[in-house]
Structure 1
Amino acid sequence: MAPRRASGDLAPASSSIQDDVLISTDFQPRLRRGTSVSTTDSPFSFTSLAPPSARVVQEAQKLELVLQDKVVAGGSATRDLFAGHAAHVRNDPIEFSKQLSLWASGTGWRSYTEYIGGRIMYEGYSLKQIKAITESPQVTAKIRQLSEERLEALHLPPEVDRQEKLASLERQLREVVLEVADGLVAKMDSVRFLRFFGASVNNILVRMYDQGIHISLPEYAAFREVAVEAAKRKQSLLILPCHKSHIDYLTMSWLFFRCGLSLPHIVAGANLNMPILGSWLQKCGAFFIRRSFGDDALYPVVVKEYIEQLVEQGMNIECFIEGGRSRTGKLLPPKLGILKYVVEALQNGRTDDVWIAPVSVQYDKVIETESYVNELLGNPKEKETLTGLLLNTRVIQLQLGRIDVRFKKPYSLKEWLNKQTDRREIKLSTSTNPPLDRRTEQAKLLRALGYQVLADINSAAVIMPAGLVGAVMLTIRGRGVGKQELVERVGWLRSTIEARGGRVADFAGMDLESVVDRALVVLKDLIGEHKGLIEPTYYPANRFELSFYRNQVIHLFVSESMLCAALYTHVKAGGAAPSQRMPTKDVLAELHFLSRLLQHEFVYGTEGLEANAAATIAQLERDEVILIEGDLLGLSPKERASGRNNYDFYCFLLWPFIETYWLAAVSLFALTPLEAPPNSTDNVAWFAEKEFHKSAQLLGKNAHFQGDISYLEAINQATLANAFQRIVDLGVIITRRSSPSAGKSIPIMALHPKWVPERLPNGQIAPHGRLWDFLSHLGAFRREGKNRRDSATVSTRMFRHCSAIAPPIVEWGPFTATEALSDFWKTKPQL
């Protein structure tokens, strides 16, 4: 059946897409300018959005019919989709009642009978999907395979009818498939229920976010243009938003409803499939997938078939690219499971194409940040659900500012894959390395696509006032900041973001001080005020939670932060200006170290270390932050005279992450065995991974409150987990599961034998060796301060505390892992 379309459809979209990216294992990929992201280790270079074309502006003006709002001409027009909505019956009972009657009668866009995309919301829709899954060739083949395997495992005597038994096993498995499919498929059968749910969500969101949901009309026009063309071709939009809050589910569904687009089938975690609310969400497009498939052989095949079936039918699919909600405020590494299914559906011919649609969703205030802090600090996790949020009257009465949704123009997955494949083949043909197998190549393509989407989300995102104020509050020296200086620094930050191609939320001509005041109201629980002084003075009352908003800015300044942190290895020594300068080659070597170590934290550009560093140096020189004298780099006289405000800003952004990785490295000394191995073969001491991670966080808390770590936000589970994973990738730690003979099999870890520190005759850890050298190099980037002299701190207090947290040895075993990687912190980059 042809997809249904709303009035005012736009002209067909162009099939061209943005320049793509080639993932490379090389540290400095030599790619042409215009590429946007890779997973290599070069410092990040922000790519700004191109200005909207005249055609897109014209199309935005046509949206007056769809959005029922007057469109302001120009490329930066934004509109509040909640404008005029009454949030409380007591404030305007007549208008509130009128709006409820519009929802009840399905007036205008609320009827949801005309929309762009695959047909949904009709009786029998979900049964049709379930039937298609159970009768699909790949599910049927899997049932036959499993039945035959189980039949063989029964070792039946000859007199038993094998065909009858096989048929019985197949019937049993079909019942299992039917049950799984029934629980999986979105129950989008009733437009009447959708209108009821839409009215409820509308009232909840408009009460929580009193400043509304804002979109960019030119961006939405470009997005809708592609959606119309995809609907004509019966092709799916794969909508990939970032994920900061449970409210994302409601925001995106409400937005599609409001804008006349076919509601997406939303991939959701099984934790949201709770009584009542789970059923409601399922009726509005959600389908719940387990986080782990375990040993269930049927479940992943059913999920795969459902995804491929949706793609084949041209249904829109929404999947949060990060998998779970970001607890830190910045984007998480991409999760690739759903992307894998969609790419395979395209490659297997289930569809002609799929359109990748990255979306940025930003909030003035994320309601869950307090619970995020408790979780990241390792406190017992409270059960937190969307139901709890929606039924919390305190929450829905709050005035949390506004939501900003921005769209990157969707691009063809088929063209992206074709360009990637062509470029990979060219690269491999000129390489002396042995050819990689198809599975490895597929994994690289998926990873490149995942990071491409993250870069697209970053480039589409706007920085909210809370992000500006949060970043300034956590990047100043001293206990607090006066009102005038706060406004000035926010103004500097806004100008700097815009100069680098980034975007700040548009507040319709509101003066800067009013924007700051508004952010201070939203962040009133996180920023305190000292009154009765010469001027109002503000201080971070909750640094950890405030860091969530600071981290929304950091992706714009990763290059500058890394370069300034590299210079800090000399600046921290003090003395005359000439003694604090560094040769350019040494700066590049330090950037090589930092960017490679922190590659799980940030999305980097693709132009290579040397090119990115040159661009960053030139930018900082233009900003008069640094001075170039021949082959030497140092702080400019103007920056020194101004108190290093701008230079410190860049360092303060990165220092908490450096602290986390430093803590992870220090904690590894606790894995130094106190006892000798039982024999020469079983010479590796294995420890419980989960327990060790808890001990490392305890070590960090102790170090923070004793002054050895500057930032409490550095001691969070999410970044520590990234740090330990990166150390595993580098071969410093080896991991596996424990032997069955040791009881229940659990994840265990050990230091690579070549990294195990020596113990002195008195039992103390020796401050030398491979791990010590690595730690010392990393410590050079840390912020210096009282009680934080790295060598003395580690070899005394920190080593003593490492001994205190040393976990018990789970088992001794032989070393069977691969050779550890080279000492990369000593390796100079090949430029």
Structure 2
Amino acid sequence: MSEMPKDQLAGKELQPTRKASLPQEFFKRYDARANQDDWDVLEEANWSIYSRLETFRRLIAWSRGEGWRGYDQILGAPIMYDGCTKETIDMVVNSPDVQRTIQSIAQVRATTLLSYVRDGKIPREYVRAYLDGKKVAETPSVDTDRLSPAVPVSHFLDGPVDRNVSILQQFYTSMRTRIGSELLNRTREIVEDSAARMDSRSFARMFGASVNEILASMYNYGAHVRMSQVLELRRIATEAAKKKQSVIFLPCHKSHIDYLVLSWILYRVGLSLPHIIAGDNLDIPVVGSVLRRGGAMFIRRSFQGDSLYPMVIKEYIMSLLSQGKNLEVFIEGTRSRTGKLLPPKYGILKYLMTAIRENRTSDILLCPVSLQYDSVIEAETYVSELLGKPKQSESLYGLITGGSALLQLKMGRIDVRFQRPWSMREFLHREEKQRVVKPNEDRDSQLLKSLGYRVLSDINHISVIMPAAMVGTVLLTMRGRGIGRSALIAGVTRLREQILHKGYEVANFGLKSISEIVDRALSLMKGLVAEHNNLLEVTFEPVKVFELSFYRNQIMHIFVHEALICAAIYTRVKQGGPFPMQRIGYNELYESVSFISWVLRDEFVFDTNPLETNIEKTVLQMLHDHVLAVSFTDDSNAIATMTDLREGRAMLGIAEQERYKGRDSFDTYLFLIWPYVESYWLASVSLLALAPQAREFRLSNLDQQKPTPDIDYPRSAPNVHRVPWYLYKDLLPSTQKIGLTLYRQGELSYYESVNSATLTNAFARLEEMGIILSRMTEDKKPTKLIAVSPLWVPHVEVTHGVAPTEETAVVPGLPPNHVFVGQLISYLNHLVHFRREGKDRRNRSDNSKIFEHIFNGGPSIVVWETIDVNRIQGEYVPRL
């Protein structure tokens, strides 16, 4: 919860260029208006593909390559010429690094085959027959990824000299040569299967024309960019081309349409099209070939079990960078199903960092890109996937059957924003100079994480807030079932002012009033919001919460600091009582915000300023906005200040004006953060199902009616524990089933809290914290197993009549005066303070029904194993 220093914000939003210096030839060639910063780059977007005459005229212009459509004056490395792809493939295959890798693998495999001969797994007769050129059975396969480094051949030829030595030498040499040749052929196959085919300008024109028609039909309000950003991007691209430097476009990923939108815009403004890093799941018949010729390069999502493939892919990317060719990399790795940014993926970033360090290029320019849509075509699919339905594989049939329907949709508008490209070499140099690496930290990992989150921060900074996001937020941050039209308009007006005040951009469609903006958004949200017209006032009711949460989450990054502050104050508010009891002191505020920020650390893109600085900055703004108020602890009427709060003379609470308004702003911030708190609580409490060491004791005493203090509770040796392991893939569905049960019974407040994306992030965070342990099986196709760390498994203690505390949980089935205790119980009881007050809960997690469902809904044990806790490494947990 900190802010990036302004002197490091080299990628700040592009500033408009002075009109006197605008290149008039650009406006003329690219059919752009010099006096308008908002530019719809779709060619005549108001013309539908069904307007045959105009479409025909447009296609003739494309076929002739008239003006900018000819794509013959691009800025950047040359592409779209005969032999372009072959040059790159040859560079990869002949690369010294690839050749060394091939020789190393060939040596390992040949040496292993030699060991097979020595051990009798391959008969000597086979060797002689092979060397004599006779027809023999196929040579046994060798799994090189499970081998030790190559052993010198002399290891197998030591000892008494016999006539077999020369035969073994010949066999080794022959096999090494043959394996090397096979690996060289496979190298060419890998790069040819992966490489883009950007060889034809005529195809590029045809593809560009098709994309224009598709986007113009689907997004009837056009695709908009800022002219000032485009002009600056062209200027920087011109300088980069002179130095043979690549521009790496790093867009957020909300839809499969992203590929088409960004490539189309770059084509439209005359920049060299990027090679797009895409998953091989999109390499489907026919479609894959088309995408490949448009710049897509297909890469497997996992390199496991193949030592050659990652080297070939790395060298392919290095060869592109050495030629100064542009790349497009989706920093999140996959499409966001929730609407907010996902944590960054570091695979391609690692290759870029290696290219800088190995001086394969003088520099790399990084250009974060934001793509925002009024509507995304996959909205319904996302809901199904978030609720646990398996993702459907892409297919040509699915594309054809859904394509015609998509072209008839009217999905509003697309807004794209470019951050000013910044130097990766300068960023790494500055980080390496300033960053202090702790003894147990991997320096490169920390650099990559800093780089990834810098990109996400840039994307958030330039993102345009769409009307649907504001309407969806108001609908999901209200109390009650529905909202009147006037209240909805007032809520959107207030939210819009807050967003603008914080320095973010709200989409401006030239509409004259907020009511028009609301009406336009609602027209694109049909099916998500019910409109009741037969009442005293037109009233709107959210009916598809999951879909609406996609839009609400798009503004979460703007108010995350306010949400965390309000969540901390709510821990006092929910206790009830008169107003003075609902206030919070500075130290408690700091500890509470620190805790919840620590829990949700990987869920949001926080700034880099110290926590204390950000708390003070946020509180000061909320005091100015009359959302919060500072008052003296003795309840005197004197005016208290932030200094009084810090020094303990005053406390912080909800301002009187805010209470008078029904806590509109305060509750809005809480409604933004609560679904995430619920998800993380659900993920954490579900871990009790993975602790049968405690659960088995409970089950064995279900029929016990009296205390049994002499029971031998199951305890392990001080440092050695017997731990059950579970399949990781079973954890998510079992947790979702528990969550849905709790939601339907009123124990969970938010339906969207059971979504698979947030729960997956929560489990990853619990693993970082050391609560969950994980390992891979040793099968040929390894599977991830997980377990609860023995350090966190609850155990049973006798209370001796003492009332339950924050450190304990009363579990159904235990004898009287017996409770669960342990770090996990303490953690859960601390986290539950931040949950929204509801049925049968305030400040504890030990509701009997909750535990009952958890114990009955856990996954099945795969195996029990013994663990030495001294070898467990995990993140230090703050004192709770």
TM, length-normalised to structure 2: 0.84
Q: Of 426, 429, 440, which residue of structure 2 is paired with 1:415?
A: 426
Shift of 1:716: 0.7
8 Å contact from structure 2 (residues 727, 786) kept in 1: yes
Aligned amino acid, residue 824 of structure 2: L
8 Å contact from structure 1 (residues 56, 222) kept in 2: no
Shift of 1:485: 0.9
Whole-angstrom CA distance in 2 between matches of 1:196 and 1:139: 36
Whole-angstrom CA distance in 2 between matches of 1:787 and 1:62: 69
Consecutive unaligned residues of structure 2, counting only runs of 5 or more, are: 118-163, 632-643, 646-650, 698-713, 799-811
Consecutive unaligned residues of structure 1, counting only runs of 5 or more, are: 1-26, 37-46
Q: Of 741, 745, 752, which residue of structure 1 is paired with 2:789?
A: 752
Whole-angstrom CA distance in 2 between matches of 1:359 and 1:386: 29
- CA-based RMSD: 2.4
Q: Secondary structure at the match of 1:268?
A: strand
Whole-angstrom CA distance in 2 between matches of 1:798 and 1:285: 52
User: Rg bigger for which structure?
Assistant: 2
Whole-angstrom CA distance in 2 between matches of 1:767 and 1:209: 56
Instruction: Return 400-409 or 764-773, whichever deviates more.
Output: 764-773
Question: Could you tell me which residue of structure 2 aligns to residue 469 of structure 1?
Answer: 471
Q: 1:49 to 1:167 in 2, by over 3 A?
A: closer
Q: 1:744 to 1:271 in 2, by over 3 A?
A: closer
2:824 maps to 1:771: yes
Question: Could you tell me which residue of structure 2 aligns to residue 621 of structure 1?
Answer: 623
Whole-angstrom CA distance in 1 between matches of 2:783 and 2:557: 36
Question: Could you tell me which residue of structure 2 aligns to residue 635 of structure 1?
Answer: 654
Question: Could you tell me which residue of structure 2 aligns to residue 159 of structure 1?
Answer: 167
2:341 maps to 1:331: yes
Shift of 1:738: 4.2
Question: Could you tell me which residue of structure 2 aligns to residue 783 of structure 1?
Answer: 836
Shift of 1:33: 5.4
8 Å contact from structure 1 (residues 246, 386) kept in 2: no
Q: 1:383-420: CA deviations, max 9, x gaps?
A: 34687356422212100001100000001111111111
Q: 1:634 to 1:376 in 2, by over 3 A?
A: same
Question: Could you tell me which residue of structure 1 aligns to residue 853 of structure 2?
Answer: 801
Q: 1:52 to 1:89 in 2, by over 3 A?
A: closer
8 Å contact from structure 2 (residues 367, 419) kept in 1: yes
Q: 1:168 to 1:224 in 2, by over 3 A?
A: same
- Spell out the pairing of 1:440-459 with structure 2 (5 A cutoff): 440-459=442-461
Aligned amino acid, residue 279 of structure 2: G
Aligned amino acid, residue 722 of structure 1: N
Q: 1:822 to 1:119 in 2, by over 3 A?
A: closer
Instruction: Return 378-387 or 202-211, whichever deviates more.
Output: 378-387
Q: 1:31-74: CA deviations, max 9, x gaps?
A: 855446xxxxxxxxxx995572554884477642343122326x
2:192 maps to 1:186: no
Aligned amino acid, residue 231 of structure 2: A
Shift of 1:692: 2.2
Q: 1:460 to 1:380 in 2, by over 3 A?
A: same
- Spell out the pairing of 1:325-474 with structure 2 (5 A cutoff): 325-384=335-394, 388-389=398-399, 391-424=402-435, 427=436, 434=439, 440-474=442-476
Q: 1:667 to 1:505 in 2, by over 3 A?
A: same
Shift of 1:699: 0.3
Whole-angstrom CA distance in 2 between matches of 1:197 and 1:394: 20
Q: 1:769-813: CA deviations, max 9, x gaps?
A: 32121111111111112344453x633001101121133322211
Shift of 1:509: 4.2
Whole-angstrom CA distance in 1 between matches of 2:42 and 2:485: 32
Question: Could you tell me which residue of structure 1 aligns to residue 298 of structure 2?
Answer: 288
- Spell out the pairing of 1:116-135 with structure 2 (5 A cutoff): 116-135=75-94
Whole-angstrom CA distance in 1 between matches of 2:774 and 2:19: 52
2:867 maps to 1:815: yes
Question: Could you tell me which residue of structure 1 aligns to residue 754 of structure 2?
Answer: 715
- Spell out the pairing of 1:489-504 with structure 2 (5 A cutoff): 489-504=491-506
- Spell out the pairing of 1:488-637 with structure 2 (5 A cutoff): 488-629=490-631, 630-631=644-645, 632-637=651-656
Question: Could you tell me which residue of structure 1 aligns to residue 329 of structure 2?
Answer: 319
Whole-angstrom CA distance in 2 between matches of 1:502 and 1:671: 44
8 Å contact from structure 2 (residues 2, 607) kept in 1: no
Q: 1:525-568: CA deviations, max 9, x gaps?
A: 21111121122100111001110010000000000000001000
Whole-angstrom CA distance in 2 between matches of 1:59 and 1:245: 34
Shift of 1:608: 0.7
2:768 maps to 1:729: yes
Shift of 1:129: 1.3
Whole-angstrom CA distance in 1 between matches of 2:778 and 2:363: 46
Question: Could you tell me which residue of structure 1 aligns to residue 638 of structure 2?
Answer: none
Whole-angstrom CA distance in 2 between matches of 1:55 and 1:767: 68
Q: 1:213 to 1:321 in 2, by over 3 A?
A: same
Question: Could you tell me which residue of structure 1 aligns to residue 182 of structure 2?
Answer: 172
Q: Of 26, 32, 35, which residue of structure 2 is paired with 1:72?
A: 35
Aligned amino acid, residue 408 of structure 2: Q
2:102 maps to 1:143: yes
Whole-angstrom CA distance in 1 between matches of 2:205 and 2:177: 45
Question: Could you tell me which residue of structure 1 aligns to residue 120 of structure 2?
Answer: none
Paired-residue identity, %:
42
- Corresponding pairs, count: 774
Q: 1:646-701: CA deviations, max 9, x gaps?
A: 11000000000000011011101111214488986561122222212211111000
Aligned amino acid, residue 35 of structure 2: V
Whole-angstrom CA distance in 2 between matches of 1:821 and 1:173: 41
Aligned amino acid, residue 823 of structure 2: R
Q: 1:160-208: CA deviations, max 9, x gaps?
A: 5243432222111111111111111111111111111111111111100
Q: 1:766 to 1:393 in 2, by over 3 A?
A: farther
8 Å contact from structure 1 (residues 377, 717) kept in 2: yes
Shift of 1:492: 0.8
Aligned amino acid, residue 427 of structure 2: W
Whole-angstrom CA distance in 1 between matches of 2:748 and 2:715: 37
Question: Could you tell me which residue of structure 2 aligns to residue 233 of structure 1?
Answer: 243
2:276 maps to 1:266: yes
Q: 1:32 to 1:459 in 2, by over 3 A?
A: closer
Q: 1:679 to 1:626 in 2, by over 3 A?
A: closer
Whole-angstrom CA distance in 1 between matches of 2:557 and 2:201: 41
Q: Secondary structure at the match of 1:260?
A: coil
Q: Secondary structure at the match of 2:250?
A: strand
2:55 maps to 1:96: yes
